[in-house]
């Protein structure tokens, strides 16, 4: 209750411990807090007389109104009481146990059924949380997740976004917005936006749907969470590509399902290996257009095999089509959803890569019979997405700005990919293995078997370089690690400097020539 701030006001009345006030928050609030804390901590006992508002105001050199406001609140909440003609007292009716509220050492340090992660127990001890909470906390800190450093994965070229067009559209919808853009709205999304999305994915991705199947969400991550909630029960088995997107693994693990890693090869997910490991899995999570993180495209025969397995087994396919718009040199491959005749595919798309991640807008294309359940789950989660931004995006798509931006970024990313591969060869060495699909916004360099990629990423993070360790994408320990380098949001100068820093991190551990 004391501070060394030179601006603060102090009063040290003989009958009260010192009251210190500063200029950082309203005076009446500080005075209220002081009395409340003093009463609850037992410094001011029930029945004790407190000074009059006039004398306290004079002593503290604040206005009497300030003191009156604080006291009014304290009366209203039962901390103070008055006795006509004889002054103000600490309330006698505050229960003793409230007055003696003390810090209690928690008795639930170790949660049932599991060990809290070491990095948490070492520091502060973890009180009992749910199994779901434990699963969320099991991942160690990730210092490489500096989303603005060079090579940050999943970051598009933010400085190339058409801000002029965007701000014009935002203003158009913000000046005198229709009530429907401001009020509570449909959990599945703004109808014109859902129509625009249905048309876009139908034309560009070969997805077969009508607007009633489109559900707007706050990005792929929420789409995955809702899909898991609606389709899966705890302990259900789920095929997950090995390696795969850690965000998806976290969702499925967090919902209590049993992850079954299924290897990928040059043709994408090895469906036969999945059948051997667990034929009866309830769902398969796939990134068929551009496998995350290795980059291959799932072959047509594997797609057919997977669809056949799902139909025979009544399983779901969760298709995450996160960056398929960026293919350099060849046309985008149509979505698995478009081949499905048994309505077994839940398709997920996002604007995080084609526009920018903080927009938090993505979409699900859901089989017709599941729309109601998905919509209810969406409503339970966060009601609906910002309708105003959905209206802006509708115009952005309809007026051709999205298509134009994607075409420009495709060229830019193709150049950045080539420049990065070149720079790696020049600065790190020609023998280093680069895995770089002609698509997307990242590439991979493989490290020698003995090198710990997590340690390398941590060292690189200290140098300001945001490379992600490949091994964190694996469920089981990989034979060799690697580094995932995003180039979408990394310009040519950052590519040169970032590669130089990376080479200096790799040299002492034999990962560079
Ligand atoms: C494969 C994959 N899926 C989903 C996402 C999440 O995207 P969103 O921002 O739409 O939640 C990412 C983000 O990097 C990703 O790489």
Nearest atom of ligand 1 to the alpha carbon of 320: 3
**Residue 72 parent element (H or E):** helix 64-76
Nearest atom of ligand 1 to the alpha carbon of 224: 4
How far is CA 369 from each of CA 71, 365, 415, 435, rounded to the nearest angstrom?
60, 12, 44, 40
Residues of the chain scoring pLDDT < 50 = 1-8, 11-14, 111-113, 121-123
Q: If we measure between CA atoms, which residue out of 402, 353, 394 comes closest to residue 196?
A: 394
**Residue 81 parent element (H or E):** strand 80-83
Q: Is 323 in the pocket of ligand 1 (CB under 6 A)?
A: no
Q: Is 246 in the pocket of ligand 1 (CB under 6 A)?
A: no
User: What's the confidence (pLDDT) of residue 3?
Assistant: 35
User: What's the confidence (pLDDT) of residue 118?
Assistant: 53
Nearest atom of ligand 1 to the alpha carbon of 352: 9
User: What's the confidence (pLDDT) of residue 482?
Assistant: 97
User: What's the confidence (pLDDT) of residue 117?
Assistant: 53
Q: Is 252 in the pocket of ligand 1 (CB under 6 A)?
A: no
Task: Show the CA angle centred on residue 71, arms to residues 67 and 74, nearest 5°.
Answer: 145
- Kindly calculate the radius of gyration of the chain based on its CA atoms and give it in whole angstroms: 30
Q: Is 245 in the pocket of ligand 1 (CB under 6 A)?
A: yes
User: What's the confidence (pLDDT) of residue 140?
Assistant: 75
Query: Buried b / exposed e across 40-74, counting CB within 10 Å, b at 16+?
Result: beeebebeeebbebeebbebbebeeebbebbbebb
pLDDT digits (tens, 9 = 90+) for 212-240: 999 999 999 999 999 999 999 999 999 99
Q: How far is the CA of 327 from the centre of ligand 1 (A)?
A: 17
pLDDT digits (tens, 9 = 90+) for 68-92: 999 999 998 889 998 777 888 999 8
Q: Is 73 in the pocket of ligand 1 (CB under 6 A)?
A: no
Q: How far is the CA of 192 from the centre of ligand 1 (A)?
A: 24
Q: How far is the CA of 233 from the centre of ligand 1 (A)?
A: 23
Which of the listed residues 216, 220, 349 should we mutate to test ligand 1's pocket, taking the one with most ligand atoms within 8 A of CB?
220
- Euclidean distance between CA atoms 230 and 366, whole angstroms: 11
Contact 508, 451 (CB under 8 A): no
The pTM score is 0.81
Q: Is 352 in the pocket of ligand 1 (CB under 6 A)?
A: yes
Residue nearest (by alpha carbon) to ligand 1 atom 12: 322
Residue nearest (by alpha carbon) to ligand 1 atom 13: 154
Which of the listed residues 217, 221, 246, 287 should we mutate to test ligand 1's pocket, taking the one with most ligand atoms within 8 A of CB?
221
User: What's the confidence (pLDDT) of residue 367?
Assistant: 98
Q: Is 154 in the pocket of ligand 1 (CB under 6 A)?
A: yes
Residue nearest (by alpha carbon) to ligand 1 atom 4: 220
Pairing of β 442-446 and β 433-435: antiparallel
């Amino acid at each position: 209750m004391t501070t060394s701030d030179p601006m603060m006001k102090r009063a040290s009345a003989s009958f009260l411990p010192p009251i210190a006030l500063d200029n950082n928050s309203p005076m009446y609030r500080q005075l209220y807090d002081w009395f409340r804390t003093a009463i609850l901590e037992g410094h001011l006992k029930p029945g004790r007389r407190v000074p009059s508002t006039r004398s306290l105001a004079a002593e503290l050199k604040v206005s009497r109104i300030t003191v009156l406001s604080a006291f009014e609140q304290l009366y209203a909440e039962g901390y103070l009481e008055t006795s006509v003609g004889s002054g103000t007292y600490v309330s006698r009716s505050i229960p003793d146990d409230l007055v003696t509220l003390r810090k209690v050492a928690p008795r639930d340090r170790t949660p049932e059924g599991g060990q809290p992660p070491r990095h948490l127990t070492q520091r502060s001890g973890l009180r009992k949380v749910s199994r779901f909470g434990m699963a969320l906390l099991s991942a160690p800190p990730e210092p490489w997740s500096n989303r603005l450093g060079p090579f940050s994965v999943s970051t598009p070229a933010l400085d190339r976004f058409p801000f002029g067009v965007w701000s014009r559209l935002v203003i158009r919808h913000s000046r005198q917005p229709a009530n429907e853009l401001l009020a509570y709205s449909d959990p599945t999304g703004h109808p014109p936006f859902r129509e625009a999305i249905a048309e876009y994915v139908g034309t560009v991705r070969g997805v077969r749907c009508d607007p009633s199947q489109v559900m707007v969400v706050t990005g792929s991550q929420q789409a995955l969470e809702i899909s898991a909630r609606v389709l899966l029960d705890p302990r259900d088995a789920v095929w997950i590509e090995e390696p795969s997107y850690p965000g998806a693994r976290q969702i499925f693990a967090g919902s209590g399902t049993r992850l079954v890693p299924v290897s990928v090869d040059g043709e994408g997910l090895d469906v036969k290996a999945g059948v051997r490991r667990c034929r009866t899995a309830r769902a398969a999570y796939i990134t068929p257009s551009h496998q995350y993180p290795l980059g291959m495209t799932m072959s047509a025969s594997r797609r057919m095999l997977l669809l056949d397995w799902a139909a025979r087994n009544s399983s779901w396919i969760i298709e995450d089509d996160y960056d398929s718009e960026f293919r350099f040199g060849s046309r985008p491959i149509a979505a698995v959803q478009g081949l499905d005749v048994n309505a077994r595919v839940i398709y997920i798309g996002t604007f995080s890569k084609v526009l920018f991640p903080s927009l938090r807008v993505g979409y699900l294309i859901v089989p017709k019979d599941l729309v109601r359940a998905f919509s209810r789950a969406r409503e339970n989660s966060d009601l609906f997405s910002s309708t105003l931004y959905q209206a802006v995006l509708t115009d952005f798509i309809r007026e051709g700005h999205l298509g134009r931006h994607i075409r420009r970024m495709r060229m830019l990313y193709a150049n950045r990919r080539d420049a990065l591969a070149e720079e790696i060869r020049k600065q790190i060495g020609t023998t280093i293995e680069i895995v770089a699909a002609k698509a997307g916004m990242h590439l991979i360099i493989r490290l020698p078997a003995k090198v710990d990629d997590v340690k390398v990423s941590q060292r690189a993070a200290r140098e300001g370089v945001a490379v992600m360790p490949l091994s964190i994408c694996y469920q089981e320990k990989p034979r060799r690690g690697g580094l995932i380098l995003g180039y979408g949001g990394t310009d040519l100068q950052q590519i040169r400097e970032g590669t130089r820093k990376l080479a200096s991190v790799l040299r002492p551990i034999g990962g560079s020539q």
